[in-house]
Amino acid sequence: MDDCLFCKIVAGDIPAEVVHTTERTVAFRDLAPQAPTHVLVVPRDHYANAAELATGDPEAMAELVRTAAAVAVAEGYADDYRLVLNTGAGAGQSVFHTHLHLLAGRALGWPPG
């Protein structure tokens, strides 16, 4: 997608602090972190939301979670982290390229939001 921010980050056209990559995913620090560790994990291929990715490439959806877990371990949070997928503007999705938020490093209350 020519106008997708995350596609541009994956392509290397826009700089980001990349912390982990796999064949199917790229993980980079969020520019507006909501926790001491706030990393976004995106599929290299463009899918608008989590449901679209799960239908179109279920293995890539699983890879998002595996990548997030690897980043959590590398950041020292193997046992305490939150994963969030927002789908749709009403749920807080602002970039319409599937992205998994990895949040860690502080107490995360429930319910969120």
Q: Which of 20, 46, 97, 99 is catalytic?
A: 99
Pairwise CA distance, residues 52 & 108, whole Å:
28
- The yes-or-no verdict on residue 1 having pLDDT over 70 is no
Contact 9, 43 (CB under 8 A): no
Q: How far apart are CA 46 and CA 69, in angstroms?
A: 21
pTM, two decimal places: 0.95
Identity of the residue numbered 93: Q
What pLDDT does residue 61 have? 96
Q: What are phi and psi of 15, to 5 degrees?
A: -70, 150
- Summarize the confidence of residues 83-111 as an average pLDDT: 95
Q: How far, in Å, CA of 2 to CA of 54, rounded?
A: 22
Region 58-78: mean pLDDT is 97
Domains of the chain, each with CATH number or no CATH: 5-104 (3.30.428.10)
99 part of the active site: yes
